[in-house]
Structure 1
Amino acid sequence: MRNVAKPVALLAALATPLAWGFDDGSEPVVPPFSGGIELGAFMATGNTETTHIKGKIDTQHLIGNWQNQYLFETLYSEDGDERSAERYYGLVQGNYPGAGKHYFFGMASGEVDKFSGYDYIATGAVGYGQRIIDQDNMTLVSEIGPGYSYKKIDLNEDPDGEDESSWITRVKLEYWWQFSSTAEFRQLLASDIAFDGANISRSETSVSAALIGNLAMKLSYNVKYNSDPVGDLKSTDTELGATLLYSF
């Protein structure tokens, strides 16, 4: 696993300029963000002690010809005194040109999942995207490009395991449909296909409906698939959740 930092640093360097816009070529210009904040929590006391907290921040903004995304999400669950889930995921991506039907992208992401068999996963990729459908109430976007992924093994889960580093092909498909004035449907599919090691794929299916003002209720079903799980862990993790969504 020598020289792992070099490919990751190279891809991060390629992705970083795509995440910022410049007014005169010297100073970054950061206009007001748009996006949404999600929060869901469930806590029970008495005979059953249960805590479940889910949060997500997903923001976008346009700067000249650049379209940028900043995403952070977290999940924590506890049954009694035993932790059952703890995950943190962050992503930054920039697209150029942001408003074009065809564009180039650069992205970098990191994940810490205490129950995945890895201490962390770091990924970077660059590539090509296309807006296959681009209407006021419906969009369909596809992306594909080369990248690099490094997975730090959790030795508590697999004492004899080895860290994984591999070039990957990143593929993403995202569909959005506003099927009424107050409700919308979204489907996200993303996969990091490794040349050597585990393939990691994610899916999020969600429906949201407006409650009052900028506040909405969101129901989502998430699937995470690992083609070669660590140790005796299962390949597929699923999550069904309900959150409040505030858009700004």
Structure 2
Amino acid sequence: MTRITRTAALVALAMPLAATAQDSNWEGEAELGLLVTTGNSEETNLKGRLGLVHETESWRNIGEFRSAYTEAEDETTAERYRAEAETDYKFSENQFWFLRGFWENDRFSGYDFRSSATTGYGHRVWELGDDSFLDLSAGVGYRFNKLEEPDDDGNRDEDEAIARLAGQFDFALSDNALFRQKLASEIGLDENNVITESETSVQASVIGDLSLKLAYRVTHVSDAPPDSEDTDTETSLSLLYGF
């Protein structure tokens, strides 16, 4: 299977899901574009993403699925799959309790996979209209990662309690353009390994339900696996289909 068909397969899932979304008041977006990475994988590859949101007066449910794949001369040079889901219970107008799960398999990160589950408190500290807001959250949970190679003590498993701090800032630049900044840190309470992710993006409507998105993403691991870089960056340009 070529890199195009592997990555596009994720976005193709949006077709039946879009119909389901329209019938059940879900909203979402499918994304396909070019991704330039530095760090453990320095490649230009294809990026696929599917995001879903369902919101009621008391609940907000969020799901996101990502993939990136590159193959050159019959050799895989980049391969990443990621899934995360969060459910928020809104117990007041601007306050919520969250439960979040995360899993990622990045073939060239030094990890066989990374995963975590966290829960905690969130607060919408600022809001202007429907598209501009600032959410901050803090919580605790558990992280389980598996290394590709054993560490100096012969262990492949990394498991520990963690604290999670996160924020999301959305600002409507106009009726058709949106700036978004996401920042999150998961802090190990035993081994003190801190994994921080930042994503800055701007998207603008092109025509109808299609938008153009430019994004820059940074992942930093304070105690990276042996022979791995501690910082990965991603720069992407993609098309979004909203439904």
TM-score norm. by structure 1 comes to 0.79
* Counterpart mapping for 1:122-141 below 5 A: 122-136=115-129, 137-141=131-135
1:207 to 202, 208, 211: 202
Aligned-pair CA distance for 1:157 = 9.0
Is 1:148 the counterpart of 2:142? The answer is yes
AA paired with 2:200? T
Count residues in correspondence.
Answer: 212
- Alpha-carbon distance in structure 2 between the residues aligned to 1:130 and 1:35: 23
* Counterpart mapping for 1:109-188 below 5 A: 109-136=102-129, 137-155=131-149, 160-188=154-182
Secondary structure in 1 matching 2:122: strand
1:243 to 235, 238, 241: 238
2:78 to 81, 85, 100: 85
Deviations 1:123-166 (A, max 9, x none): 00110000011111411001100110001111289894431100
CA RMSD in angstroms comes to: 2.2
Name the counterpart of 2:38: none
Higher gyration radius (CA): 1
AA paired with 1:37? A
For the 8 Å contact 1:223–1:237, the answer to whether it is kept is yes
Q: Which runs of 5+ in 1 are unaligned?
A: 1-29, 43-49
Deviations 1:66-100 (A, max 9, x none): 11001111111234333222111111111111772
Is 1:68 the counterpart of 2:56? The answer is no
1:55 to 43, 48, 57: 48
1:225 to 217, 220, 238: 220
- Alpha-carbon distance in structure 2 between the residues aligned to 1:135 and 1:120: 38
